Amino acid sequence: MARKDRTADAAGEKAREKWMARFQVRLAMQPGVDRAVVLQAVKEVTTHCADTGESPQTAYGDPDAHAVRTAERLVPTDVAERAKRHDAPVDRLGSALKRARDITGL
């Protein structure tokens, strides 16, 4: 019986780690998100889950969707808009390079 509990605990911990890793990556990709925002969001999720005993999946759902919601809540709109404008030329260049790779077969 104890072995089964350890296996379930290990699986739950693995799922939690996977959820948190995906959440952090997706959050960091949102416009205007910096290290402080990621740390604050991780602390919020970790604290909530420790206090309630819920898994992040149960408490917040999909990590990608929660990352978007969190960025909208924690990043001021003007900062996010400025980051989007700043990243637009880089995104266009990346898109052009991808099309060139697709055409040339590289």
What single letter denotes the amino acid at residue 72?
A: E
| pTM summary value | 0.71
* Unique residue bearing structure tokens 């959050």: 27
Query: In this structure, what DSSP letter does residue 26 have?
Result: H
d(CA 104, CA 42): 42
Q: What is the DSSP letter of 106?
A: -
* The pLDDT value given to residue 99: 65
Q: Residue written as tokens 């960091």?
A: 28
CA 3 to the chain's CA centroid: 33
Residues of the chain with pLDDT under 70: 1-5, 87-100, 102-106
Tell me the residue type at 21: A
